[in-house]
Structure 1
């Protein structure tokens, strides 16, 4: 592997690991310290504005509805999520965020916004274009190679 490929590899691996570690650290130090990173990503998948079916959220997270059910039960106990059945078909379960869940969502969104803003702060528009193009190419390659949606 030539030098630049090695550097890119090291940076990508380090960046991925650092972001996960920092996200966990920020969660533990904040007002939503009772959430795991997985739970936060479940809240993120549920979304802010509409109630969603369990199967929609499970599909977005690429997990089974059974696995999601366990996660949702924990989030309900913690006060972040509410579950309702629709009257027309009691088999359909809708989940949505509580006020506390929406706060967690906004705080996590702010973390990501700050991270991205600081990453591009000071870049020229041409440098931003190169960064976006490079990240898009990596993303496209990984999705095609490993058949991700």
Structure 2
């Protein structure tokens, strides 16, 4: 296995470990909510004027999948729709009070995980961190271009 393959495998392994170690705490604190629902709530909470298309792009899901999730979240009283007075065509989403509670629980869990893992980040230099960030950004841009080339859409 060459170094590139090793790096990709290690990144995947790292992501899977993070998901595994966080899973029980997430599921316990957000019982009754699917990960896709929580991520949708999180994205609505972080983005002003979130609509189906913005959510599909940010969550790497189809618009159809987002429509299903948002309908469930509306029915559960976690989000609501609204329209702008200057654009009656577009439908946007915002969190309800109940949705804000879920959003804040999710945010607090991520802060807790970040605090748990702080020890690792304290051991690397600013230059190392900048180098890692630069690599991730370059790789992400490359994948964005591949997505465009392959015409992978959110339909």
Q: Normalising TM by the smaller chain, what interval? A: 0.7 to 0.9
Partner Cα distance (1:136, 1:90) in 2 = 37
**Counterpart residue number, 2:71:** 73
**Counterpart residue number, 2:123:** 122
1:131 aligns with 2:132: yes
Q: CA RMSD in A?
A: 3.1
**Counterpart residue number, 1:18:** 17
Report which stretch shifted further, 136-145 or 79-88: 79-88
Match among 36, 41, 44 for residue 43 of structure 1 = 41
**Counterpart residue number, 1:82:** 80
Does the residue aligned with 1:57 lie in a helix, a strand or coil?
A: helix
| Deviations 1:67-88, CA, capped at 9 Å, x for gaps | 3222112112333212245667
Size of the aligned set, in residue pairs, is: 147
More contact order relative to length (CA 8 Å, sep ≥ 6): 2
Could you list the runs of 5+ residues in structure 1 that have no partner in the other structure? Answer: none
For the Cα contact (< 8 Å) 1:53–1:93, is it kept in 2?
Answer: yes
The TM-score with structure 1 as length reference comes to 0.72
For the Cα contact (< 8 Å) 2:37–2:73, is it kept in 1?
Answer: yes
The TM-score with structure 2 as length reference comes to 0.70
